[in-house]
Structure 1
Amino acid sequence: MDGETCRNKILSEDYWDFLIPNFRMDDLELVPAERSCHQEMDFGYRAVYIDSSILDPLTIREYRYNSIPNCYALLDMETLNIAGISQVQNYPTLQLMGRNVMIGFIDTGIDYRNPVFKNIDGSTRIAGIWDQTIQDGTPPGGLDYGSEYTEDRINEALRTENPLDIVPSMDINGHGTFLASVAAGSADVPNRFLGAAPESTIAVVKLKPAKSYLKDFYAIRSDAVCFQENDIMLGLKYLNNLARERNMPLVMCIALGTNFGGHNGTSLLSGMLDTYSYILNRSVVIGTGNEAAKRHHFYHMLEGINAETSAEIRVGEGVQGFVAELWTMLPNVVTISIISPSGERTRQISIRQGDRYDLRFVFEKTEVSVEYRLLLENNDSQLIFLRFQNPVPGIWQINVEPVQIAEGDFHIWLPIQEFLSGEVYFLESNPDTTLTEPGTSRSAMTVAYYNGRDNGVDINSGRGYTRDGLVKPDFAAPGVMVTGAGLNGQFVTKSGSSVSAGITAGAVALLTEWLQNEPGARGVNSSQIRSIILLGVNQRPLMEYPNKEWGYGTLDLYRALDTLRRI
């Protein structure tokens, strides 16, 4: 199939996107070739685009849970001194600046015209931009959509009076520009600004918005900024290829997140990030998200086979819909019933693998669909997937009863704040296990954020551990009231998970530079970089580590190198 035809299918709302690993290619045997196309990802994954007119309705009963792309939102936004970065930039025998290391960003794009992304001679520090939203240019090799802008092309644009005439890629949101600046921005002396790795090479993927049918499936508000899992995974391929072409180490910075998924590292994106983390000279940094204080997580331990409990959800005015996911580890099995604000109660919903129940509440005129999954791929868990449409305001109750019990614990997650069209939260919420996906990735570095001025962890910083007890976050980095590049050449101050992820990505680039220059260096992977950072984390007296807020402590790059030197 020619690239132009596939591009049209990739972009069409009439074609649905699916994620297919190489061991499930037989799923496509009955799909006519002329009604589909695909894009190859790394490690044997494919993004497949199929004409929706030949498909059954989109449910997890009809399609595997992990095959339906997840939707991810942006993680909201004297720091370098606190993280031990200034010291390694300025120490006479170190002077680490990220030279010959690439930092890759998959986000809202970048304002490539900003001076903080240029060399002293005015040339760009950006190796390439893949803008998935522009379709009149040339896509990267092996891909059929978007437009790639190379370093030469960007430099050509910068030499003209109107650079956007040649490279029209822009960051309308500003999130990607800010993220790249705190990680890799060059010095701006008048504004007293310096990024963590100011001489690193930058690579950028600007994600296209998620398709409307997926936003409808996940009941995401129509104006929410969100991106599809398959576009992110293809972006990772682009960054990896660009770094390979230049024979450079690559730090992947992920400042995106979602509450959808099992929170145990089993999503396809988490698995792919794990695989990149195992490769020499590839490192992955992920933010924990900003969900700890949003009241979107419920946790309970059922004490016996006759125990039951109720998760109460407050729904405000104007909420068009939302999704909730209940997860428990097998051999625990639970069932539910639902009580509406008026007191209308469903029967206990029978468990049948793969069944879907469409419930209608007469007085509220609300519809709730419920799907059970017991045999999830690569996941030893039960999932109950609930989708509320036009929920009436008030208190909705999800009554949970055990069918069989081992440990007896279960979790329910509501969508992240950015996806909701109004007030939706648990009356009795739990702030733990609120780090967003893909922050549960096992081998990547997951970073919490704190206020460097008072050394307090931010109330919103996503907390661990993962649902299966893996220690996450790994450590914390500054992320409150940090200055970075905004739009139109301005500098702005932001807080949030993205900030700490950007600072950490820059710190990892500096550490990678140092390791590359060591005698006999053969490269290191993400797990090894993580271990070196953990050697130097700062820990508070009388506080037990690791813990769910700070992980093993706070990032201190200078202390890590000093500890490594003394060992």
Structure 2
Amino acid sequence: MSPEDIERIYSNNYADFIISYGGNPSNLEKYENSSINIINFYLAVVHLPADFLTEDVISKVGYSVLPSLFGFTNPDSIETSGIQRIRNIPEFNLRGKGVLLGFVDSGIDYTNPIFQNADKTTRIDRIWDQTIISDQTPEGVVYGTEYTKEQINEALKSENPFSVVPTRDEIGHGTIVAGIAAGNEVPDNDFYGVATESQLVVVKLKPAKPNIKQFFRIPEDKICYQENDLIFGIQYLLDYSTSVSKPIVICISVDTAQYAHDGRGTTSNWLSIKAVTPGIGIVIPVGNEGNAKGHYLGLIEQASSYNEVELKVGSDESGFSMEIWGNTPNLFSVDITSPSGEYIPRFTLRLNTTKKIDFVFEPTTIFVDSSLIESQSGEQLMLLRFTMPSQGIWKFRVYSKGIYPISFNIWLPMSEFISKDTFFLKPDPFTTLLSLACARNPLTVTAYNSDDESLYINAGKGFTRVDIVKPDIASPGVNIVSPTLTHGFRAVSGTSAAAAHTAGVAAMFFEWGIVKRNYPEMSTQDLKIFMIRGARRKAGLSYPNKEWGYGILDIYNTFRSIRGEE
């Protein structure tokens, strides 16, 4: 690519669109005057001038073409998961040796000793920092900078490591997740990583462009990432794994509340394909939206009725989006009443259309985008984007015609993108998994407190909108000791911590199965079966469970079953 093409990847003067081209270059010919960046056989990114990202762009190109925006699923466990007990059996003393652990996150503090060998060399094979522009890009990728193990080791010898390898984790989330999954043990601080002999491969995601954040009404100061950069990051990890002929477990601890929560989005579909491939493990947390009051489940029982949704909007809300997903083959329409009582009569949008709603007595503007048949899910989508929403109670009457009773779902953005004072008055705590967590084949993890075996209070709950069983497993995720950016330690809670712990355990499984040749074709699907088979299940609960999945992760129980023990 030319320098101008590289500039378009970073510049807010250009907007990014994800195109499913299916490996056929002719499907990209209509974008010949733009910059095109191929991700893999399935997907490409097209960079067009930002003025193409108009308020009615969804009606022109469809919802799935716009990259969703991902945020963090913020985040003793070694003993409660049976790891120490299994290591006491010599043949199962597994620490992830010969297995790669991959992370697509906020980066990593490569100077932290928990990521170093005894001789002070690094355990990190590669870092791809998407935020640093140079000519040192990874093979097959046209942006960012790749740092090798040799370069990192050279930096660690320097008095100023960041003058040699300048990549940093300014936020700390990526360092936490990698540390829990793979950090060296530090008993004096009660810190115990899981896969302590695995090698790490890390992607630092570049921040989302302001133009796409503005389109979805996400405040400019919020940290989020674009779907296309996430897909590029995952593909980089997969390509590196192939190049060195090693199995890889990928922990994805960013997610989004956008989309249909049915496992059929662009990234979810692709991850499900990869999750059945031998040598690839994909671990995703459910997210922390269980108590955020950001999901509404509605039911319309007959033609003459409707369902009234009440949404409280806080005083400091500058804007937000809201997605209404209606089940096919039914048709949906809406009317709106503002906090001051101003009424917008019932409207139905045909095919792919955009409607602008201005209020006389409110400063609010709402753009409503409608897709009668959204391309990935096949369902009807109504996307409402609010600018300067008035404080108070908004009411939406949802009508439908079709096959009764008729249900629909509404999701607000994930809680870190919206005021805590904006929520549904009658929320549904279930189907509060984030979108990637709904993907059918990856391993989806919820968090629990290992001290009293209670569910983490904020954990998202299943099942998916189309009743796929999620989560799959529960792992420790409350008060987990993790590394800080000052090389200390602190306790964190969240489903990211649980997913990181599970990713470390998955690396142990891959060592036993693939590296030691006991189950050489092991995939994510196989990992799930092994973990589910050995899971501990609580008396009095039915399984699979919308909160606990198939039970609590216990690798010791799993390997007991492998050995034929009762």
Q: Give TM-score scaled by structure 1 length.
A: 0.97
Cα deviation for residue 49 of structure 1 reads: 1.0
Q: What amino acid is aligned across from residue 18 of structure 1 in structure 2?
A: F
Counterparts of 1:516 and 1:108, CA distance in 2: 29
Q: Tell me what 1:30 maps to.
A: 30
Cα deviation for residue 57 of structure 1 reads: 4.7
1:320/1:421 contact within 8 Å kept: no
- The SS at the match of 2:282 is strand
CA deviation profile, 1:537-557 (whole Å, cap 9, x unmatched): 000112101111001101111
- The SS at the match of 2:214 is helix
Counterparts of 1:468 and 1:151, CA distance in 2: 44
CA deviation profile, 1:190-219 (whole Å, cap 9, x unmatched): 223220101101010000000001111111
Q: What amino acid is aligned across from residue 552 of structure 1 in structure 2?
A: Y
Q: What amino acid is aligned across from residue 471 of structure 2 in structure 1?
A: P
Q: What amino acid is aligned across from residue 30 of structure 2 in structure 1?
A: L
Q: Tell me what 1:259 maps to.
A: 257
Q: Tell me what 2:5 maps to.
A: 6
Q: Does 1:344 align with 2:322?
A: no
Q: Tell me what 2:208 maps to.
A: 210
CA deviation profile, 1:93-119 (whole Å, cap 9, x unmatched): 211000000010000000000000001
What are structure 1's unaligned runs of at least 5 residues? none
- The SS at the match of 1:295 is coil
CA deviation profile, 1:352-397 (whole Å, cap 9, x unmatched): 1111111111111211111211121131211111011101100001
Q: Which of 102, 127, 130 is the equivalent residue of 2:128?
A: 130
Cα deviation for residue 227 of structure 1 reads: 0.3
Instruction: Kindly report which structure 2 residues correspond to 1:61-100, keeping only aligned pairs within 5 A, or say none.
Output: 61-100=59-98
CA deviation profile, 1:452-491 (whole Å, cap 9, x unmatched): 1110111210000000010000111110000011111111
Counterparts of 1:225 and 1:446, CA distance in 2: 23
Q: Which of 525, 528, 532 is the equivalent residue of 2:526?
A: 528
Cα deviation for residue 304 of structure 1 reads: 1.2
Q: What amino acid is aligned across from residue 360 of structure 1 in structure 2?
A: D
Q: Does 1:378 align with 2:360?
A: no
1:333/1:405 contact within 8 Å kept: no
| Pair 1:205–1:553, CA change in 2 (3 A) | same
Instruction: Kindly report which structure 2 residues correspond to 1:529-544, keeping only aligned pairs within 5 A, or say none.
Output: 529-544=527-542
Q: Tell me what 1:178 maps to.
A: 176
Instruction: Kindly report which structure 2 residues correspond to 1:80-479, keeping only aligned pairs within 5 A, or say none.
Output: 80-136=78-134, 138-421=136-419, 423-479=421-477
- The SS at the match of 1:93 is helix
Q: What amino acid is aligned across from residue 389 of structure 2 in structure 1?
A: P
| Pair 1:98–1:66, CA change in 2 (3 A) | same
What are structure 2's unaligned runs of at least 5 residues? none
2:444/2:470 contact within 8 Å kept: yes
2:115/2:124 contact within 8 Å kept: yes
Counterparts of 2:556 and 2:52, CA distance in 1: 58
2:56/2:354 contact within 8 Å kept: no
Counterparts of 1:165 and 1:527, CA distance in 2: 43
Q: What amino acid is aligned across from residue 374 of structure 2 in structure 1?
A: L
Cα deviation for residue 558 of structure 1 reads: 1.2
1:58/1:217 contact within 8 Å kept: no
- The SS at the match of 2:31 is coil
Q: Tell me what 1:15 maps to.
A: 14
Counterparts of 1:30 and 1:517, CA distance in 2: 46
Counterparts of 1:58 and 1:347, CA distance in 2: 21
1:265/1:442 contact within 8 Å kept: yes
Cα deviation for residue 120 of structure 1 reads: 0.8
Q: What amino acid is aligned across from residue 5 of structure 1 in structure 2?
A: E
Q: What amino acid is aligned across from residue 12 of structure 2 in structure 1?
A: E
CA deviation profile, 1:264-321 (whole Å, cap 9, x unmatched): 0111111121121021100100000000101000002211122211110101112101
1:220/1:421 contact within 8 Å kept: no
CA deviation profile, 1:518-538 (whole Å, cap 9, x unmatched): 556432111011101111000
1:480/1:495 contact within 8 Å kept: yes
Counterparts of 2:198 and 2:404, CA distance in 1: 50
Cα deviation for residue 406 of structure 1 reads: 4.5
1:474/1:551 contact within 8 Å kept: yes
CA deviation profile, 1:425-460 (whole Å, cap 9, x unmatched): 000000000000110010000001111111011121
Counterparts of 1:483 and 1:520, CA distance in 2: 32
Counterparts of 2:15 and 2:517, CA distance in 1: 51
- The SS at the match of 1:550 is coil
1:208/1:227 contact within 8 Å kept: yes
CA RMSD, aligned part only? 1.5
2:319/2:388 contact within 8 Å kept: yes
Is 326-335 or 103-112 further displaced after alignment?
326-335
Q: What amino acid is aligned across from residue 345 of structure 1 in structure 2?
A: Y
| Pair 1:26–1:406, CA change in 2 (3 A) | farther
2:207/2:224 contact within 8 Å kept: yes
Is 18-27 or 275-284 further displaced after alignment?
18-27
Is 536-545 or 54-63 further displaced after alignment?
54-63
- The SS at the match of 2:17 is strand
Counterparts of 1:16 and 1:343, CA distance in 2: 37
1:102/1:200 contact within 8 Å kept: yes
Counterparts of 2:132 and 2:349, CA distance in 1: 46
Q: Tell me what 2:487 maps to.
A: 489
- The SS at the match of 1:488 is coil
2:62/2:371 contact within 8 Å kept: no
Q: What amino acid is aligned across from residue 541 of structure 1 in structure 2?
A: A
- The SS at the match of 2:101 is strand
Cα deviation for residue 32 of structure 1 reads: 4.0
Cα deviation for residue 28 of structure 1 reads: 4.1
Counterparts of 1:520 and 1:557, CA distance in 2: 16
Q: What amino acid is aligned across from residue 315 of structure 2 in structure 1?
A: E
Q: What amino acid is aligned across from residue 162 of structure 2 in structure 1?
A: L
